[in-house]
Every structure is written in structure tokens, then in C-alpha cells.
Structure 1
Amino acid sequence: MQNKIKIVTIGGGSSYTPELIEGLILRKDRLPIAELWLVDIADGTEKMEIVGNMAKRMIAAAGLDWQVHLTLDRKAALKDADYVTTQFRVGLLDARLKDEVIPLANGLLGQETNGAGGLFKAFRTIPVILEIIDDMRVLCPNAWLVDFTNPAGMVTEAAIKYGQWEKTVGLCNVPFSHITQACELLETPEAELNFKFAGLNHFHWHRVWDNKGNERTAELIDKIYAPEQRDRSDEGLKNIHQIPFHYEQVKHLGILPCGYHRYYYLQEPMLAHAVEEFRQYETRAEVVKKTEKRLFELYKDVNLNYKPEELSQRGGAHYSDAACDLIAAIQNNTGKQMVVSTRNNGAIADLPFDCIVEVTAAITAHGPEPLRWGALPPAARGMIQLMKAMEETTIEAAVTGDYGAALHAFTINPLIPAGDTAIKVLDALLYAHKAYLPKFAEKIAQIERDKPEIVAFVDQLLADREAHA
């Protein structure tokens, strides 16, 4: 009989937690759980209590005897943990709002993991991940770190390269959406198809074969992107505006793009749509705030002991499939193929051997074994090499607080035109997030002292958004 395991979820007060609990319950025969700890910060106490009590109801309804603990004491929770999952947002949804509206007010894309907002999410998150690893090194030195916190690829790279925590795996639910879409269009069960993904988190491509060895990638490109199939180009990703890709471009590439590639292949119309949402006070953060408010009202119902359908509107579909499948695969050494962020180890020939990539890998008890993809087409190779350099520079800035590195990351990013506007947005975001960027404290103090126009712009913008909330 397997030893009982302890799972710790940091960011336990997240609206996603019922999705995770459902996934664990569905895999109860493969996961001998003894303890489940939900951890949050003081500002998240109320939400953690609400969602934690719901988790207890779900587990009781499943007839399980798992011990569920709710705590603000991260160190107490981490003691002797076997798996540590992360799903937190530094600065909560207010920080996401700033990431979106400050760039958009300046004509740049504002998005959670892409463009200027994505870089700042990394700046805030990476130091916290490294602090968690410092605690794990003492309290649970053999635990796996399963990261679902965005930007997952950069967070995973920071954990492995700077935190030296080799037992780190990054996860994303986006590949599941593409797999589901392919199965539906090919009218074939997933078990009869073979998928291979390669790229970076929110910047990958994939190919598909059937169980007879026939590649179906070109067929899928036609079924999804041909002009007469434009209504099929929706992958079901709730947080991305579904503008159809250019058929001829995808056909030339010969591999299937990630939904997030719209920000790069269709930059102008995606930006225009985001700017219109900004003008209507309907950025994704503002929409999600309202969705979460409704969800937590549902979660308060003492009779609710199952995941409500409304959670699908939050954008977390397949979250539990990714996180729980990974834990079960490691725990049982199954070799299951999954799409994860892990060390490249030569899987993508065009990127450094030791960098973190998002690829299909066989999941074993010693971690992911990435499947070899080989070289990407030149049209993809140039883009991914640029993006990887941007990621590496972003991580450096997050770890060191080097303003020059942050500006360089902005300059490399394809969604940020270099120049005065980029510097204005960089400085404005530094000031707006000053409570969560201690490594940049000296530069932020300089901005507050020498650039009163930046301070006034941010304060007025955020007051306006708050007035319309």
C-alpha cells in the first residue's frame, strides 16, 4: 500500500480551488491523500475560509477522510509536504487591473501574461516563488513544486535556474483546449490521437497524428482556419478574443499555433479590441472581478458541495486535469504524456539545452522526460528565440531589480514598441506596483521624486477605474 501524501496549495483562497478539489476527488484511487492544506495571505482570509469550507463539503460528499487545513502560516503548511501547488496572484486582481489598464491607456496591449503586463506579473511573482523555495528547502526538501501561477514558463525557469529546485514542473490549461478542439473536429477520441507540443508557455505550436501513424495536422489546419471554417477557430479560451488567424499564414507554417499567438500574428486587431474593452471599462480584469464576486457568493451556500458550472466562465477549464494528472503521474510513475514547462534537454533544437520550454513529456517518478521535437520552421524559430531571450531578461530583472534589464526586456518584447511610451509605461507600472516590487525600491523612489507626471497619471487612471467599478 502506498504511503499517504500531503498536498499543499499556496493561493488556496483562489476561485479555482474547487476545480482542484474536484480533480483530486476524481483521482482518489490513484492519490492516497492524507492531508490537504490551503494557504493564503491575510488579505485573502475571507476567500480562503469560503472556498476552504466548500472544499471540506466536497470531500465529505465524496465520502473521503482527507484532513483539510486552512492557514495563513505557510511554513506550518509546508512541513513534510509531498507536493506543493501554486496558484497565487501577487497583488490580487487589483494588480491584474493595473497590468491591463496602464499599458492600454498608452496604446499598448495590456494582458495578464503578454506584453508589459505579463512582464510585470513576472517581476512580482518570481521573488515570491524563490521565497517559497527557500522555505521548502528547509521544511519539505523532497517535495515537488507544481506551478500553475502565471507566467508559468518564466516562474518555472526562475525556480529551476535561480532557486535550484529541480523538482519543479510548470503547468497550463491551454493545451487541453487545443486537444479538445482537435478531437471534436476530427471526430476521434483523444485516446486514438497522438499530440506533440513544443514552444514556450502561451507561445507553443503542436502537431497531431492518429493511432495508425497518419499525420492529421494539415487536415486540422484546413478544418480550423480555412475561410469557410472561420467559426471553428474558437479554441474555447475564455480570456482571449477569438479573431480568426490568417489561413495562408498557418498553412505556410504547417503546424498549429497556440491561441495566444493571436497577440503576435494579429497584433493590430487584438490591440484594437483590447483598447475598445478598456474604453468600455470591460478589461478582462474588470470582467473577472465581477465573475469572482458571483462565484464566491455561490461558494458561501452551505448546501453547495460540488463545482458549479459558473466556474467555467472564470477561464480555468481543465485546470484540475493538468494539475491532478501531473501529481498522479509522478506519484504512480505512469509515463503519461502531458504538456508541461520543463528543462529543454534538447527537445527543441533551436533553444538552449538548459532553458525551460513547454513541451510534451512523459511524466515519471523522477519528473518529465521531454519528447524530442527537433527544429522549428524558420518562421517559428525566429519568434521563439526572440521570446526566450525576452523571458531570460525578464527573469534577470525580477531577481535583481535591475532597471536596465527591465527596460531591455521591454525593448525585446514584440508587443512593446521601443521608445518614450515604453519608458513611460515601465515607470508607471513600477510606481503602481511599488508595494510588491521591493527590489526596484530605489528606482521607484526616483520616479516618485523626479517624475510627478507619472505619479499623477497613474493615480488619476486608477481612481477613474475604481469610480466605474
Structure 2
Amino acid sequence: MKLTVVGGGSTYTPELVDGFARLRDTLPVEELVLVDPATDRLELVGGLARRIFAHQGHPGRVVTTSDLDAGIDGADAVLLQLRVGGQAARQQDETWPLECGCVGQETTGAGGLAKALRTVPVVLDIADRVRRANPNAWIIDFTNPVGIVTRALLQAGHRAVGLCNVAIGLQRKFAAMLDLAPADVHLDHVGLNHLTWETGVRLGGPEGEDVLPRLLAEHGGTIAGDLRLPRPLLDRLGVVPSYYLRYYYAHDEVVEELRTKPSRAAEVAAMERELLTMYGDPALVEKPALLARRGGAYYSEAAVDLAAALLGGAGNPYQVVNAYNRGTLPFLPDDAVIEVQAAVGTKGPVPLPVSPVDPLYAGLMADVTAYEDLALDAALRGGRDRVFRALLSHPLIGQYAYAETLTDQLVAHNREYLAWA
């Protein structure tokens, strides 16, 4: 089995490699190819990847290359984890929206749209080349904004599934609170990428006992603290929102925080410099503890399970993925990309039935789905008016004066990445 990681020079990659090494019985990788144009980073990451495999006794081969076509040739699955423009572009995404009093964040709001506009054309070009190299290869997208990028891939006819680590992180957290193995905890996870709610926590599987009320009663304070939301809000909702819902439920509070502290991009850039220094140490044979602060916790386990299931291995049959709606949520279009539990096999994911969704959540999902449709149109066809329409539609913006100013700023800060600008 050959797996290729596009964006393999990312400091995330050792987390992924560690999962491949530990879980080789679930996903027997014979050749792991790391592709990245940044050859200096790639060699540091690739060297550590080889040492991790050797240290854990994995017989697979790790190959590094800056040649995309060579890297994807014959691959059974291709994982996408790229960042067009790097941390410098992320720094911009997180700062200029704040000038209008809007959230500055790399996956939602104006910053998220900027990232989508930079990313979608690049990802579609990669996917076309993957399809030419191996029409049967699966594409697993971890590249943000996952919902929009996955929708672009699916609409272009690619064999693609979107992946996020929010659900698996909550599953692990709840399992620890319940003193259970993660495999014994099944989430009723519903929404869009980075706009999700846990409406149930079930024991054993989709039909198991729902213990979410007990979790909230016994651990609500801890859960609320992790989400940085008030405990009474969780009690009133009776669900656990993802931490990204704080951008909506506490928008003004978040904006003030973001204006008075260093950006996440600056923190990550500093962390990456330290990590790359560590990766260059030939004595390092395990992923360093610092990597846990970089983000992407449990990404490796989620990626292994998903790839194994898609390729006919021993992956968990029930997984939270980003896939076409196709009637699962009747208030959304069939071609909306939703993030829910699905049965995953070699033919792809099939979303599990979802209980009726409270209008409090369904309304916001519908709004953001409409924004994602307009965002994808702007990413595919370009033009200032399409960018303006997408920004005006976003629930975190919604005012024409803000949308006008943000459109000008988005284009000014991303001109080198926008063919039409």
C-alpha cells in the first residue's frame, strides 16, 4: 500500500507518521511518500519520519520528494494537508478582519474565505493530477476550510472525503470522563465542518444508551471551561458545541481578545521554528511533546481509521467525516457537505440517519451552507462581486459596509494568489 501526503513538510506530519507506525496492523503502509516544495523543511520532517518508523519497527519505506507527479504516481490514497501562503498568509487572515470589528480566524469569516480562495484552485489542480495518476485513488482532505475544499473536490467528481480532528478529540475527552475506551463512545455529531454540535454521546454504537445528560451534569464545568463558554449556556442547550461555535456565541468577546493578544499564527510560527530545530536532531526518534500544542491532536488516529476503511482494511466502520448531505439533513441541499457520523467502506462514506435537528442549530447551518456555496463560487470563478456576496452572506459579517471594506482588504492582501485580481 502506498500513501502520499501532500504538504508532507508540515510540522504536523510527525503526528501522522507516529499513527502510521503505531497502527500498522490497521493500515499496513509499505511506502509513505511526503511531498512538499519546501525541500529544507521536507528533509527535516522526512528524517524524523524515517527514525520514527525505524524506532517502532515499522518495515515501510519513507520517501521525500518535491515532485508532485512522482509522489502521487501509483498512490492508493493521497492526504492533503497544505497551506497556500504559509503562516504569513494565515497571519494576514487573522488580523485584517479585526479592523472592521469582525473575527480574524483562518477557517471562518473573512479570513476563512481568503484561505478558501487561495486553496481551492491549488487543491483542484492536485486532484486532477491524482486522478490521472490513479483514477481509483482516494483523496483525504485535511486542508482547511475542509467543508468548502471537500465540496470543491466532490463537485469536480473526485473520490474525496473530508476529515477534521474535532470529533475524535471530543470522543477521547468524553471516553476519559466516562472511564471507557474511545471505541466504546459513539458521538451523535451533526453540523458542518467547524460548525458542529454533539447532540448525544452513546455507549457502544449508534443505538447505545445516550449518556450526554450525565456527562453534562457531572462534567459540565470542565467541558464548558475547555470550550471557553459559560456552563449555564451548555445546561440550557443540552448539547456540546464545538469550540468554533464560540466565534458565533461570543463574537464580540472573542474580537476583543484577538485584538489584545498575539495572533495564533504568530504563536504557531514560533512553535514551528522550535519544532523544526528539534526535528533536525538525529537522536530524536519520537514525536516531541511540543507537537501537541501545535494542534491536530488525534489527527493520526482519525486518518488511519479513515484510510483503512476506504482501502478495505480494518478501520472503524463508523467515523465522523465530511461528505455530501444527500438527504441526511433535509433542510440542506443534497450537495451540501456536512460533517456527521458515517458508515465508511471501499465505496466511500454513507452518512448515518440523524435525529431531527433543533431549529437553533439548523438555522445557523443553513446560513453557513449558503455562505459556503457563494464562497465556492468565488473560489472557482473569481471576481470582486462574488467575494462581496460571500462576505455579505456570512453570519459573522452580514453588514454591507463591512462586506465592502473586507472585500477590498481580502483582495489587497491576497492579490498574488488570485488569478483574476
Q: Which one of the candidate residues 224, 236, 240 is aligned to 1:233?
A: 224
Q: Which one of the candidate residues 291, 316, 319 is aligned to 1:311?
A: 291
Q: Which one of the candidate residues 348, 367, 384 is aligned to 1:367?
A: 348
Match of 1:182 in 2: 174
Task: State the shift of 1:66 in Å.
Answer: 2.1
Write out aligned runs for 1:366-385 (5 A): 366-385=347-366
Q: Over the residues paired in the alignment, what is the CA RMSD in angstroms? A: 1.7
Match of 2:5 in 1: 9
CA 1:418 to 1:224, structure 2 compared with 1: closer, same or farther past 3 Å? farther
Q: Tell me the alpha carbon deviations over residues 334-393 of structure 1, each in whole angstroms, 9 at most, x when there is no partner.
A: 562111001112222221223210000111111112111042111111111001001111
Task: State the shift of 1:437 in Å.
Answer: 1.4
Q: Which one of the candidate residues 199, 209, 228 is aligned to 2:202?
A: 209
**In the alignment, is residue 244 of structure 1 matched against residue 244 of structure 2?**
no
CA 1:208 to 1:64, structure 2 compared with 1: closer, same or farther past 3 Å? closer
**In the alignment, is residue 198 of structure 1 matched against residue 198 of structure 2?**
no
CA 1:262 to 1:99, structure 2 compared with 1: closer, same or farther past 3 Å? same
**In the alignment, is residue 406 of structure 1 matched against residue 387 of structure 2?**
yes
Task: State the shift of 1:276 in Å.
Answer: 1.3
Overall identity of the aligned pairs, in %: 37
Match of 2:137 in 1: 143
Once residues 64 and 424 of structure 1 are traced to their aligned partners in structure 2, the CA distance between those partners, rounded to angstroms, is 53
**In the alignment, is residue 94 of structure 1 matched against residue 74 of structure 2?**
no
**Does the Cα contact within 8 Å between 1:196 and 1:360 map onto a contact in 2?**
yes
Once residues 285 and 294 of structure 2 are traced to their aligned partners in structure 1, the CA distance between those partners, rounded to angstroms, is 19
Task: State the shift of 1:111 in Å.
Answer: 0.5
**Does the Cα contact within 8 Å between 2:26 and 2:305 map onto a contact in 1?**
no
Task: State the shift of 1:311 in Å.
Answer: 0.2
Give the total of aligned pairs.
Answer: 417
Secondary structure at the aligned position of 1:84 is classed as strand
CA 1:224 to 1:391, structure 2 compared with 1: closer, same or farther past 3 Å? farther
Once residues 132 and 35 of structure 1 are traced to their aligned partners in structure 2, the CA distance between those partners, rounded to angstroms, is 20
Once residues 203 and 69 of structure 2 are traced to their aligned partners in structure 1, the CA distance between those partners, rounded to angstroms, is 47
Q: Which one of the candidate residues 149, 158, 162 is aligned to 1:170?
A: 162
**Does the Cα contact within 8 Å between 1:98 and 1:429 map onto a contact in 2?**
no
**Does the Cα contact within 8 Å between 1:120 and 1:429 map onto a contact in 2?**
yes
Once residues 215 and 63 of structure 1 are traced to their aligned partners in structure 2, the CA distance between those partners, rounded to angstroms, is 40
User: What amino acid maps onto 2:201 in structure 1?
Assistant: V
Task: State the shift of 1:417 in Å.
Answer: 4.1
Once residues 173 and 52 of structure 2 are traced to their aligned partners in structure 1, the CA distance between those partners, rounded to angstroms, is 30
**In the alignment, is residue 259 of structure 1 matched against residue 223 of structure 2?**
no
Secondary structure at the aligned position of 1:433 is classed as helix
Once residues 415 and 222 of structure 1 are traced to their aligned partners in structure 2, the CA distance between those partners, rounded to angstroms, is 31
Secondary structure at the aligned position of 1:270 is classed as helix
CA 1:17 to 1:191, structure 2 compared with 1: closer, same or farther past 3 Å? closer
CA 1:146 to 1:264, structure 2 compared with 1: closer, same or farther past 3 Å? same
User: What amino acid maps onto 2:347 in structure 1?
Assistant: H
**Does the Cα contact within 8 Å between 2:323 and 2:339 map onto a contact in 1?**
yes
Task: State the shift of 1:428 in Å.
Answer: 1.4
Once residues 43 and 270 of structure 2 are traced to their aligned partners in structure 1, the CA distance between those partners, rounded to angstroms, is 19
**In the alignment, is residue 425 of structure 1 matched against residue 409 of structure 2?**
no
Which protein is bigger by CA-based radius of gyration? Answer: 1
Match of 1:238 in 2: none
Match of 1:461 in 2: none
User: What amino acid maps onto 1:396 in structure 2?
Assistant: D
**In the alignment, is residue 323 of structure 1 matched against residue 315 of structure 2?**
no
Secondary structure at the aligned position of 2:311 is classed as helix
> Unaligned 5+ residue runs, structure 1?
236-241, 442-469
Once residues 170 and 108 of structure 1 are traced to their aligned partners in structure 2, the CA distance between those partners, rounded to angstroms, is 27
CA 1:64 to 1:210, structure 2 compared with 1: closer, same or farther past 3 Å? closer
Q: Tell me the alpha carbon deviations over residues 10-42 of structure 1, each in whole angstroms, 9 at most, x when there is no partner.
A: 00100011011111111212323222111112x
Q: Tell me the alpha carbon deviations over residues 224-272 of structure 1, each in whole angstroms, 9 at most, x when there is no partner.
A: 44xxx2x44244xxxxxx422462x444433321111111111121111
User: What amino acid maps onto 1:216 in structure 2?
Assistant: V
Write out aligned runs for 1:127-142 (5 A): 127-142=121-136
**Does the Cα contact within 8 Å between 2:93 and 2:112 map onto a contact in 1?**
yes
Once residues 331 and 148 of structure 2 are traced to their aligned partners in structure 1, the CA distance between those partners, rounded to angstroms, is 18
Secondary structure at the aligned position of 1:169 is classed as strand
Once residues 24 and 347 of structure 1 are traced to their aligned partners in structure 2, the CA distance between those partners, rounded to angstroms, is 32
Write out aligned runs for 1:384-395 (5 A): 384-395=365-376
**Does the Cα contact within 8 Å between 1:218 and 1:251 map onto a contact in 2?**
no
Q: Tell me the alpha carbon deviations over residues 444-465 of structure 1, each in whole angstroms, 9 at most, x when there is no partner.
A: xxxxxxxxxxxxxxxxxxxxxx
Once residues 77 and 363 of structure 2 are traced to their aligned partners in structure 1, the CA distance between those partners, rounded to angstroms, is 36
Secondary structure at the aligned position of 2:201 is classed as strand
User: What amino acid maps onto 2:351 in structure 1?
Assistant: P
Match of 1:31 in 2: 27
**Does the Cα contact within 8 Å between 2:319 and 2:343 map onto a contact in 1?**
yes
Once residues 263 and 172 of structure 2 are traced to their aligned partners in structure 1, the CA distance between those partners, rounded to angstroms, is 27
After superposing the two structures, state which structure 1 stretch, 205-214 or 64-73, moved more. Answer: 205-214
Match of 1:269 in 2: 253
CA 1:385 to 1:45, structure 2 compared with 1: closer, same or farther past 3 Å? same
After TM superposition, the score normalised by the length of structure 1 is 0.85
Once residues 411 and 218 of structure 2 are traced to their aligned partners in structure 1, the CA distance between those partners, rounded to angstroms, is 44
Task: State the shift of 1:201 in Å.
Answer: 0.4
CA 1:255 to 1:320, structure 2 compared with 1: closer, same or farther past 3 Å? same
After TM superposition, the score normalised by the length of structure 2 is 0.95
